[in-house]
Amino acid sequence: MTSLICGSIAFDTIMSFGGRFSEALLADQLHKINVAFLVPSIRREFGGCAGNIAYNLKLLGGDPLIMATVGQDSAPYLDRLERLQISRRCIRTVESSYTAQAFITTDADSNQITAFHPGAMTMSHQNKVAEAGAVKLAIVAPDGRDGMLQHAMDCVDLNIPFIFDPGQGLPMFSGAELQHFIELATYVAVNDYEAELLTERTGLTLDKIAQRVSALIVTRGEQGAEIFTGSHKIDIPCVAVDKVVDPTGCGDAFRAGMLFGLTNGMDWATTGRLSSLMGAIKITHQGGQNHILSRAEIDDRFQQAFGYRL
């Protein structure tokens, strides 16, 4: 059962700052910031929300289909997808642009400051969902602004249920546009910060948003997640880990769990727990796509965490 993943493919340059941003930023001087962070470690990773979600969904045994735009420098990424047996047929190359690039600095408390160059991602509206063929479920994740609007409408026109996952793209949209996305979507998934911004911009409470979709999912880091289905709320626990290594891509891993659970008819409690587990597995590894587990190993970890098998 194919899951269409509309979103970005990007190269991530990830840097680690040993201190805390809060100690380097003066609250009364935020209007004139001029600060440098010493980053002893730096690495380049394969990333982008679509790439990360597809990678995790493939680990689960799902069938991810990426719809994205990449640039003239994309050959290493496309070769990697080929090796992973993740379809590239809905990835468009824009030769006049570079692939999207994220520059991420993480501090000792796992807070992140990100600079992002969209590159070819701004042309994502050139991709049409109708070209994907038969699709069970889609996700409209952070991408070019016009592409996100286009793909949401395409899904509705084709009667494809979809998850609206605005992520770091949320500030691109007005309150009215965000309300429009909510009205179109089958599900909405945000983290706690995005949830606050979404309610502020739309004027809708979380309860009101939940009434407009089949489910609203709010992730809350180490506090787990909440799934609102109508008037019912399901609390999803965080899966404990021995060591937090890198939060980059944890939300994408969580969303892969959602796609897998929904396309395989799992109940919301199990879907949420699987999603939480995928985020926990990711956070113990550097980068968004460096954790390597078999489906059997994921099943074993699920049983250890929750006391029953998938």
Over its length of 310 residues, how does the chain's per-residue pLDDT go in tens digits? 899 999 999 998 988 898 998 887 767 766 777 888 888 988 899 999 999 999 999 999 999 999 999 999 999 999 999 999 999 999 999 999 999 998 889 888 878 888 889 999 999 999 999 999 999 999 999 999 999 999 999 999 999 999 999 998 999 999 999 999 999 999 999 999 999 999 999 999 999 999 999 999 999 999 999 999 978 999 999 999 999 988 889 999 999 999 999 999 999 999 999 999 999 999 999 889 999 999 999 999 999 999 999 9
> What are the backbone dihedrals phi and psi of residue 52, each rounded to the nearest 5 degrees, phi first?
-65, -45
pLDDT for residue 26: 67
Structure tokens at 180: 């429009």
Are 139 and 65 in contact, with CB atoms under 8 Å apart?
Answer: no
Q: Assign residue 221 a region: left if phi > 0, alpha if psi is -120 to 50, beta otherwise? A: left
pLDDT for residue 16: 87
Domains of the chain in sequence order? 2-23+40-304 (3.40.1190.20)
Structure tokens at 81: 């997808």
Structure tokens at 160: 């494809």
Sign of CA dihedral 40, 41, 47, 53: negative
Are 90 and 65 in contact, with CB atoms under 8 Å apart?
Answer: yes
For 113-136, give one letter per residue: b (16+ CB within 10 A) or e: eeebebbbbbbbbebebeebeebb
Which helix H or strand E contains 14, and what residues bound it?
strand 10-16
Radius of gyration over alpha carbons of the chain, in Å? Answer: 19
pLDDT for residue 248: 85
Q: What is the reported pTM? A: 0.91
